[in-house]
Amino acid sequence: MAKDKAEASGLSGVSVGALYGVGPARCRAFAKLGVHTVEDLLHHYPRAYEYRGDIRLLSETSPEGKSAVILTVSTAPRAAMIRRGMTLLRFRAYDESCSAGGSCEITYFNQNYLKDTFAVGATYRFYGKVERRGSGYMMVSPAFEEVTPGREDELPALIPVYPATEGLSQKQIASAVSLALRMAASGGEDDMLPAQTRQERALCAQSFALRSIHRPRDMESLALAKRRLVYDEFYLFALGLAATRARVREGVAPVCDRADLSVLEAQLPFSLTGAQRRAIEDIRREMASSVPMSRMVVGDVGCGKTVCAAAAMLFAVQSGRQAALMAPTEILARQHARELSDLFSRMGISCELLIGATTAAKKRDIRARLADGTLSVVIGTQALLSDGVEFAAPALVVTDEQHRFGVNQRATLSQKNRHAHLLVMSATPIPRSLALGLYGDLDISRIDEMPPGRQVVDTFVVDEGYRARLNGFIRKQVAEGGQVYVVCPAIDEQRADADDELDEDVLLGDVSLRGAFDMDLSALQRAAHGDKPPLKTALGMAEQLAHDLGDIAVECLHGKMKAAQKDEIMARFVSGEVKVLVSTTVIEVGVNVPSATLMIVENAERFGLAQLHQLRGRVGRGKRKSYCVLVAGSRPGETARRRLETMRTQHDGFEIARQDLLLRGPGDFLRGGSDGESGAGIRQSGGIQFRLADGCDDADLMETAFADARSLLEQDATLSGYPVLRERMERMFTVDASILN
């Protein structure tokens, strides 16, 4: 039996406050980062690395980026009060490139405690921006490390940059991590993974991985560490999905074997496609069994998933039971209610809408009718999960936009509705291999056939030079009765830097973890001196368009707004009062606006193919010809250019998803949005946290981890022989220990 001695020794139960130098105040600061125990700290991975291995002479540095220089201190540090509450510590240092009398002035603000740190004649590696100042140089608050003469090569080239918060400096975090690593090392070298698995998959030991992710010797050790830790996350996730699936399948669901689809077809103004019929047959067959159905219907926007859900709800009602549909937003819930209430009323089926905005009296009425069985179908938001909502005869729960509801929420729905059948819908087409990974607890029906007459949205890729013509095109669309979406990758300037992680060509810090697999040394050196192209912001773009478009009504929508404010703006767009909606990706999953004829995506190179396809699906839903314009920013990388070309020429969602997987790896399908909405991928909600896997660019690694997890469960279904694996998996899924009982 494999067992990680470090974890078995209780690091998951040892408070981070047990580490030297971590008092109550720092404990509170660490808690803000989700770090409560020593084990949490070991898995608090760097978000980036500063590359300090490219040592330069002062004369070789550029003020455009940060540089690493080795300097000798030539004057004693002097502290001075420059104004009330602010002090200045200043001294000089030099290297061999300094001309006679020349040197670099080094300054620290409000850090007088460093006064005795820098001794005259001592040598240090400084890292920061080097500015020219007359015949000399200047550095302000550079990072530093003392250098032993003749042993410069012993300094680490890669320095971790951790996610931080107020009250914790990088040095304080790094110091605590070092103590945690020493504590873990004292527990031994055994590993939670079976030795055979590590050997077959060429995975490094967990102890090496943790040590190297925090203190990498070089890029090779960092890549090995990341590969092992990403594998672990996928492996644990696969175990948890399998456990959830097994738990759900142990339940007894109501048998819904009275299924007459002709009743629904008689009310439809169109014929079902072959793909819809196949999906509905999957649903009918499984609902006729006492084994709880756990099925996802996945397909492009407009492919007809809602009709499949309507058929499932009809089967439940025909069998004398009740059904519920849960949407992620009130806007989407209202849209479903409008469409389905009319359809069900014509079939004599009662249907109501239950959301936060529902009046108290109406809520009491709906709850009472659900409880006594006189209400057959309810449509709502997560209000359906609240206390007091009880079903007399639950048979089916449908959730829309699958990635908004994670595996834990699916389990909650199943428990609340006494093992009712579960049907989830997603408008994000994903390749089969990735679907098995992300939704291993669900069976999948793919609707890969669009209804007849669904129009193709013409797609164009332009640059900033087309701005004037693009504004003219907006005016033309509005004049002809159309409406326009404009999507930006950031809300405002303050959040723009955080949003830069959307693009694989932009590095966080100097070297992102995301690039640690394939970035060579020369690329690191270039990255350390590069800059980032600017992002278009929703607030800024809305203001600019309001000025440029004159009397055309422009509004801005983003995820930091309150729900009521978002609903009010979206409702005015749906009604046609607002003609141009500038937004972040909050509208990626949204209501049906048939008059929307133009989608403009700013900084389109920053988005993945799957997300661009989702955004494009917001238009072309009516009878009018529709367009999508992808505006590329400056200097898009080669991968970004290939993505944009794929979007221009390809319209099949499943093929686009396959290309996205090949170009960007599975990590981007796991990513959440910087805005807090659907984001650049389909990360599931509900407590699952991927620390490194959401930056993974290796689809094979994910598939391998899932295959290995399935193999282990075939040998030991309850993981009784692997208590550490079991405990780690349970904590990842934030569920109680009964998950495997």
- Whether 734 shows a pLDDT value over 70: the answer reads no
**Nearest alpha-carbon partner for 396 in 320, 316, 333:** 316
Q: Do 477 and 183 contact (CB within 8 A), yes or no?
A: no
Give percent of the chain with pLDDT exceeding 90: 42
Please determine, for residue 245, whether its predicted confidence score (pLDDT) is greater than 90. no
The answer to whether the CB of 601 falls within 8 A of the CB of 564 is no
Sheet holding 394-399, edge to edge: 351-354, 377-380, 322-326, 394-399, 421-426, 294-299, 443-447
Is the Cα torsion angle 16, 18, 19, 22 positive or negative in sign?
positive
Query: What is the predicted pLDDT for the residue at 673?
Result: 40
> Which region, left, alpha or beta, applies to residue 687 given φ > 0 means left and ψ of -120 to 50 means alpha?
left
Residue range 380-396: mean pLDDT, rounded: 84
Gap between the terminal Cα atoms of the chain: 20
Residue 506 has pLDDT above 80, yes or no: no
How many Å apart are CA 735 and CA 728, to the nearest integer?
A: 11
> pTM for the whole thing?
0.66
Residue 497: pLDDT band with limits 50, 70, 90: very low
CA distance 323 to 256: 11
Greater confidence, 202 or 442? 202
The H or E element spanning position 616 is helix 609-616
pLDDT (average), residues 89-93: 95
Beta carbons of 637 and 644 less than 8 angstroms apart: no
Q: Find out whether 89 and 79 touch, Cβ atoms under 8 Å.
A: yes
The string of pLDDT tens digits covering residues 520-558 is: 444 444 444 444 457 889 999 999 999 999 899 999 998
- In the predicted structure, residue 741 carries a pLDDT above the cut 90: no
Q: Measured between alpha carbons, how far is residue 592 from residues 77, 333, 653, 661 in Å?
A: 66, 12, 18, 28
pLDDT band at 119 (very low <50, low <70, confident <90, very high): very high
Structure confidence by residue, pLDDT tens digits, 483-494 = 999 999 888 765
What residues pair up with 483 in beta bridges, in sequence order?
596
- Which two structure tokens, joined as six digits, stand for 650? 């390809």
* Rounded to 5°, angle at Cα 638 from 636 and 508: 60
Segment 705-727, tens digit of pLDDT: 888 988 898 888 888 888 888 88
Q: How far is CA 640 from the centre of its chain?
A: 19
Could you identify the residue written with the tokens 């981070």?
16
What mean pLDDT is predicted for residues 130-138? 90
User: What are the backbone dihedrals phi and psi of residue 250, each rounded to the nearest 5 degrees, phi first?
Assistant: -75, -15
205 pLDDT higher than 60: yes
Reported as a pLDDT band with limits 50, 70 and 90, residue 118 is: very high
State whether residue 484 is helix, strand or coil.
strand
| For range 197-223, the mean pLDDT | 92
- More reliable by pLDDT, 146 or 523: 146
Q: How far apart are CA 584 and CA 38, in angstroms?
A: 37
The pLDDT of residue 680 is 37
- All structural domains of the chain: 1-48+166-190 (1.10.150), 53-155 (2.40.50.140), 253-447 (3.40.50.300), 458-650 (3.40.50.300)
Q: CB neighbours of 9 closer than 8 A, spacing ≥ 6?
A: 187
212-235, pLDDT tens digit by residue?
999 998 889 999 999 999 999 889
As a whole number of angstroms, the distance between CA 638 and CA 658 comes to 18
Tokens, residue 255: 């048998």
Distance CA 346, CA 448 (A): 29
Question: What is the dihedral angle through the alpha carbons of 677, 680, 684, 686, rounded to the nearest 10 degrees?
Answer: -30
Query: What per-residue confidence (pLDDT) applies to 142?
Result: 95
Per-residue pLDDT, averaged over 257-267, amounts to 92
- Closest listed residue to residue 20, CA positions, set 182, 163, 162, 216: 182
**Which of 44-58, 151-165, 381-395, 705-719 has the least mean pLDDT?**
381-395
**pLDDT at position 187, please?**
66
Average pLDDT rounded to a whole number, residues 48-56: 90
Burial classification of residue 342, based on how many CB atoms lie within 10 Å of its CB (0-12 exposed, 13-18 middle, 19 or more buried): exposed
Nearest Cα to Cα of residue 119 among 87, 72, 80:
72
Concatenate the DSSP letters of all residues of 422-454 into one string.
EEEEES----HHHHHHHTTTSEEEEE--PPTTP
pLDDT given at position 681: 41
**Count of beta carbons in the 10 Å neighbourhood of residue 637:** 13
51: amino acid identity, one letter:
Y
Across the strands, what pairs with 396?
A: 323, 421
pLDDT in tens, 617-654: 888 888 889 999 999 976 777 778 888 898 999 888 77
Q: Left if phi > 0, otherwise alpha if psi is -120 to 50, otherwise beta: which for 702?
A: alpha
Let me know: does 12 contact 37? Beta carbons within 8 Å. yes
* pLDDT of 505 strictly over 90: no
Would you say 401 and 426 are in contact if contact means Cβ atoms under 8 Å apart? yes
pLDDT band at 431 (very low <50, low <70, confident <90, very high): low
Residue 452 makes CB contacts below 8 A (sequence gap 6+) with 270
